[in-house]
Structure 1
Amino acid sequence: MSAASLSRLLGIGPQLISRQLFCFHTSQRCCTNVTFGQSLGPTTAAKQENVRKHPPKIRKSGKTAKFPSTNVTWEERLADAVTPLWRMNYEEQLQDYEQFIRHSPLDPCILFHEGGHWREITVRTNRKGDTMAIVYFHPQDLGKEEIRKHQKSLVEYFTTGPGAACELTSLYFQESAMTRCLHEESPYQLLYGIPYIFEEVLGLTFRISPDAFFQVNTEGAEVLYQTVRDLIRASGDYIVLDVCCGTGAVGLTVCQGAARVIGIELIDQAVEDAQCNAVLNGIDNCEFLKGKAEIVLPELLPSLEGAKFLVAVVNPSRAGLHYRVVRAIRNCEQIRRLVYISCKPEGEAMRNFVELCCLPDQQKKLFGDPFTPTLAVPVDMFPHTPHCELVLLFER
C-alpha cells in the first residue's frame, strides 16, 4: 500500500505516513524454505522461467488461483492456493499491493467433505516444527458411536496412514453443528499427542492452545510486536491496556518499562494461556481479565482514574471494535495514545477510525477530544499474498 493510498484511506496528509513494509519467509515442513521468487517443487529452470513470465491469474475475490494446467506438483498447487503471489518477485508484489489489499483475506482453513458430512482443518506450527492440527467436524445426525469411528479413523490416518508424513505433535477434534464455536460451547478433544505447542517470540516463551489466537508468521510477529512496542513508548508511569489480548503476546512483549499491563480477552483458553505465559517468563506486572471487551473495559476504566497515563493497544478481529469499546476509549481522558492493529483496515475498522477521530458527538455519546492518526506502518505478515497488517498510531 502506497503512502498516497494510506493517506486517502485515513484522510491525513502523506507527510504523516511512514511507509515501511517488512517481508519474511517461513519454513514449511513439506517444502523447502520459501523465499521470494523461489520455486517450491522440483521444477526445472525452464519451467521456473515460464511461470515467472506467465504467473497464474488471481480471481478478483483474492481467494483462489488458476493453476497452470500441466506438470504442476502438489507443492506448487498448495503454494498457489495459500500464497498466490509466490511466483512474483517481491518488488512486483509491492507494486501490486495497492490493488490486492482491497481483496478479502484468505480463510486459513481447508475444507473437505465425506459422506454428507464436512470438516475443517486448521494447522498450527512453530519454529521447531511442532505441528498442531484441529479438526472441526460438522456431523449430520450421527450418533456417538459413528463419531467415535470418525475420530479413530483420523488418528489412524495421521499416525499410521498417509497423514503420518505430517508428523503431528497434537491432533484435536471439535464436534459442532455450527461453522465455529467456542471451547465452552463444544470442548476441544485431544485425540493424539501433547496438549499445547510453544513458540519463542522476542526472547519470550508462549504456550498456545487450540482455541487461542496466535500470529501464524512468527518472524513477522516479532517485527509487528517490536513496532507496537516502539509506538507505545511506555515509561514507568504508564499503564498499558491490551484489548483483545489473545495469549498475551502484545502485553508481555511491551510490559518492560511499563508500570502495569492489563489484558482483556473473550476466549477462556487464551486467558489461561496468557496467565501461564506470564508465569513462564517471570513477568509479574501483567494481569489478564476474562470477558467481552465492551463489558470489561467500561467497568475497568473508572478504577484507573487515579492513573497519570494510560496507553491502549487494540488488536480486534476483522469485525473491528464494538462501539462501546471505542466510546470507552474516546471518553477516557487519560488515554492520550492508542495503537490500533488491523488486519482489514478498509473494512469495519474504518468505522472505528471515524468514531475515534470525529468531533464530539452528543448523540453517539462521544464526549472526549478526538484522536488524530499520526503514523501508519504496514507489516507484511502474509508473504506472497495480497494481505498485510496495518499498525496505526492515534494521539491527542
Structure 2
Amino acid sequence: MKLGEVYKIEIIDMGMEGEGIGKVDGMAVFVEGAIVGDLAEVEITQVKKSFARGKVLSLIQKSEHRILPQCSYAEECGGCTFQSMDYEGQLSLKQKWVSDRLQRIGGVTDVEVKPTLGMNEPYRYRNKAQFPIQAGRLVKNHEGKLRNNKPCSIGFYKPKTHDVVHCEHCMIQAEPAEALAAAVKKYVEEQTVSVYDPKNGMGLLRHLIVKSAFATGEVMAILVVNGSHLKKEERLIELMDEAINALPLNESGEPRWYLESVVLNINKNKGSQILGKECVTLAGKPTITDQVGDLVFEISPKSFYQVNPVQMKVLYDKVVEFAALTGEETVLDLYCGVGTIGLYCASKAKRIIGIESEKAAVIDANRNAVINGIVNAEYICGKSEEVLPKRLKDVKADVVILDPPRVGCHAELLEAVLKVDPKRIVYVSCDPATLARDIKVLGEGGYSVKEVQPVDMFPSTGHVETIIMMTKCGSEGKK
C-alpha cells in the first residue's frame, strides 16, 4: 500500500473519534468522514506498519444509517463526531463496541450484551458546558489604545488543534450555555477585556463554564481568569441576567431557567488544567442544586456531576437493579466522587461506605448525605487500594460498586476488592477497553459476568457507558 493509491473500501466498523474503519488485504484503514455501511472510494493519505489512513473521494454506496448533520458546525467542531449517523445506528454501534472488547480483551464470550439504552430526545442533554475563549486580533486605534480588530471566539476546539470554533448554537448543550456564551462575548468586546493566550501566558479571560440544573432550573456561570478580578463585573452580571431572562418560558408560561450563581475561578497557572484552586462568588449563591429521583444534590463550581441528568437516572436505576439490594447489604462505593451512586442506593441498603481520593468530592458527598437526611452513608478520603486493606479490613461487604475514571481500576484496587470477597460486583465504566481488561482480572479472581448493559450518556459522540454485574463463581465455575 502506498500514499496516493485509491481503493474501494467497505466500512465495517468505526473508531471512537468518528472515523470509519475498513480493510485492504487485511490491513485496517481509518477513513475520515465514512460511517459503518458506506462503500467508498478512498485515497490513502498515510501508511504505517499495521494500519493506514485515507480520505473519501466519493461514496459509491451510502450507509442506510447516513444522514445530513443537523449541526451547522459539524464539519469544524470536534465535539460531536457522529453527526452523520442516525441515532439507531449510533446505539447499535456502541453495543457492538462493548461486545467486541469484552470478547477480545476480557474473554467474555457467553454473555449477551443488551441493546444500548438510548434517549427519546438525544439533543440538548448536557448540563455542563466548557467553552475555551480565544482572542480576536488586537490593534492600536488612533489614540494608541488596543482594540479588537476581530471578534473573540467562544466555542469548542477544532479536532486535534487548540483553535476555537465560535459556536453560537450547539445541539447537545442546554439553552443557558448558548445564552451565557453570547453574553460573555458581548461583554469581552464591549469592555475590551483581554483574553488569555496559552502561548505566552498573557491575557485575562480563559474559559466560561456553565452548569444548568435540569430539575430546578438553576444556572451557574463560572469565569476562569488569569488574575484576581474582572473590570465592571456588574455589567457582566447584567448581560448574563438579560440573556437568561430572554430564554423561552416553560409550558406553564413561567421561566424555565434562573441565573443563581456567578463565580470567578482564579487560575494563574500555565498549562491545560482548566480550573484553579480559588473560587470567588461574584453574585448569587456559591452552589446550585439539582434533583435526581427523590434526592437533592448540591453542585459547586469544582464538583463532579454526571453531565446527562436524564440518562443519569437510567444509569443509576440499572445499578440498583444489578446490585439486587434487599436492605440488609453493606455496599462499598469505590471511586465514589460526590457520592451520587451510593446515595441513590442508600434507601435500599443497610450501609453505604464510599471511598474517593479527591478531598473536595468527599466533602461534597458527606454534605449531600446530610442534605438528604441519609444517615447510613459515610464517605472516606483516600485511595481505595490503601483504605480497603487498612481502615476497612474488618468490614464484610456484600456488594462492591466500581465507577473508575477512563483509565480503569488500579491493579492494587482490584486485588483489594477480591480480598473483600463480595457477593456481587457492579462495575460502571466509561471505557469498554479498560472495563474488559479489569473484568478479566476479576474473572481470574473467581467472578463471572452475568449482565452487560450499555447506556448512551453522550449521543452524537463516540462515548458509551457500560454497567456490568458480576457474581462469585462456585469452585466448579471459577475462571
> TM-score over 0.5 for the alignment?
yes
The residue number in structure 1 matching 2:285 is: 194
Which residue of 385, 393, 396 corresponds with 1:294?
Answer: 385
How many Å apart are 1:157 and its aligned residue?
5.2
Cα distance change on mapping 1:60 and 1:165 into 2, 3 Å: closer
Aligned residue for 1:16, secondary structure, equals coil
Unaligned 5+ segments in structure 2 are 1-92, 126-157, 175-184, 186-193, 245-257, 473-479
**SS, match of residue 303 in structure 2:** coil
Task: Specify whether residues 283 and 170 from structure 1 end up closer, same or farther in structure 2 by C-alpha distance, changes over 3 A only.
Answer: same
Q: Would the alpha carbon gap of residues 136 and 2 (structure 1) be closer, same or farther in structure 2, given more than 3 Å must change? A: closer
What SS does the aligned partner of 1:168 have? strand
Task: Give the distance between the partners of 1:182 and 1:288, measured in 2 at CA.
Answer: 24
SS at structure 1 position matched to 2:221: strand
What is the distance in 2 between the residues matched to 1:7 and 1:162?
46
Name the CA distance, whole Å, in 2 between partners of 1:27 and 1:385: 11
Q: Is the 8 A contact 1:220 1:380 kept in 2?
A: yes
Residues 196/233 of structure 1: CA separation in 2 closer, same or farther (3 Å cut): same
Q: What is residue 447 of structure 2 aligned with on the other side?
A: 371
Matched, 1:159 2:226: no
SS of residue paired to 1:381 = coil
Per-residue deviation, residues 113-142 of structure 1 (Å, max 9, x unmatched): 4463361232211123211123333x3xxx
- Other-structure match for 2:168: 74
- Cα distance in 2, alignment partners of residues 257 and 227 from structure 1: 14
Q: 1:226 aligns with which of 317, 323, 331?
A: 317
Structure 1, gaps ≥5 residues long: 30-58, 68-72, 84-109, 140-146, 360-368
SS of residue paired to 1:303: coil
Between 155-164 and 3-12, the greater mean CA deviation after superposition: 155-164
Structure 1 residues 6, 313: closer, same or farther in 2, change over 3 A?
A: same
CA contact (8 A) 2:94 2:454 kept: no
Query: Which residue among 462, 467, 472 is the counterpart of 1:386?
Result: 462
1:277-319 deviations in Å (ceiling 9; x for gaps): 2222222111111223232233233121xx3x52111112222
Rounded Cα–Cα distance in structure 1 between residues aligned with 2:328 and 2:213:
35
Matched, 1:120 2:207: yes
**2:290–2:298 CA contact under 8 A, matched in 1:** yes
Letter in 1 for 2:118: F
Encode CA deviations 1:56-97: one digit per residue, 9 max, x unaligned: xxx987999999xxxxx932xx238x69xxxxxxxxxxxxxx
Q: 1:17–1:374: 8 Å Cα contact kept in structure 2?
A: no
Match of 2:259, SS state, is: coil
Of 354, 362, 379, which residue of structure 2 is paired with 1:263? 354
Alignment size in residue pairs: 305
Q: Is 1:356 the counterpart of 2:442 in the alignment?
A: yes
1: CA distance, partners of 2:429 / 2:235: 38
Q: C-alpha separation between the residues in 2 aligned to 1:174 and 1:381?
A: 28
Is 2:106 aligned against 1:10? no
Find the aligned partners of 2:442 and 2:328 in 1 and give their Cα distance: 24
Cα separation, partners in 2 of 1:373 and 1:272, compared to 1, 3 Å: same
Given the superposition, is the C-alpha separation of residues 330 and 208 from structure 1 closer, same or farther in structure 2, using an over 3 Å criterion?
A: same
Which structure is higher in helix share? 1
| Superimposed CA distance per residue, residues 209-268 of structure 1 (whole angstroms, 9 cap, x where no aligned partner) | 222111121111111110100000122331101112122111111112311000112233
Indicate conservation of the 8 Å contact 1:326/1:355, yes or no: yes
The alignment's C-alpha RMSD in Å is: 3.4
Aligned counterparts of 2:430 and 2:384: Cα–Cα separation in 1: 18
For the Cα contact (< 8 Å) 2:123–2:459, is it kept in 1?
no
Name the larger-Rg structure: 2
Quote how far apart the aligned CAs of 1:353 are: 2.7
The within-5 A match list for 1:53-202 is: 74-75=168-169, 78-79=170-171, 113-114=195-196, 116-117=202-203, 119-127=206-214, 128-137=216-225, 139=226, 147-148=227-228, 150-153=229-232, 155-156=233-234, 158-161=236-239, 164-166=242-244, 168-176=259-267, 177=269, 178-180=271-273, 186-202=277-293
Q: Structure 1, residues 129-177: CA drift from partner, whole Å, max 9, x if none?
A: 211123333x3xxxxxxx24x4345x34531236741463212223231
Residues 274-313 of structure 1 mapped to structure 2, 5 A cutoff: 274-304=365-395, 307=396, 309-313=397-401
Counterpart contact for 1:298–1:325, Cα < 8 Å: no
1:334-354 Cα deviation digits (max 9, x unpaired): x131111111223x4443233
Partner AA of 1:370 in structure 2 = G
Q: If the length of structure 2 is used for normalisation, what is the TM-score?
A: 0.56
Alignment pair present for 1:345 and 2:432: yes
Pair 62,303 (structure 1): closer, same or farther in 2 beyond 3 Å: farther
> In structure 2, what residue type is equivalent to 1:165?
A
Paired residues of 2:356 and 2:384 also in contact (CA < 8 A): yes
Deviation at 1:389, TM superposition (A): 1.2
Q: Distance in 1 between matches of 2:338 and 2:302?
A: 10
1:318 counterpart = 2:406: yes
After TM superposition, the structure 1 = structure 2 runs for residues 27-46 of structure 1, keeping only pairs within 5 Å, are none
Distance in 1 (alpha carbons) for counterparts of 2:263 and 2:165: 32
Code of the aligned partner of 1:74: E
In the alignment, structure 1 residue 332 sits paired with structure 2 residue 420: yes
- Offset, 1:3: 5.1
In the TM superposition, what is the alpha-carbon distance from 1:195 to its structure 2 partner?
A: 1.1
Structure with greater strand percent: 2
Larger RCO (CA under 8 A, 6+ residues apart): 1
Question: For the residues of structure 2 that align with 1:247 and 1:228, how far apart are their CA atoms?
Answer: 16
Quick one: percent identity of the two aligned structures? 30
Asked if 2 retains the 8 angstrom alpha-carbon contact of 1:248 and 1:277, the reply is yes
Q: Which residue of 2 aligns with 1:105?
A: none
Q: Could you tell me which amino acid in structure 1 is paired with residue 424 of structure 2?
A: R
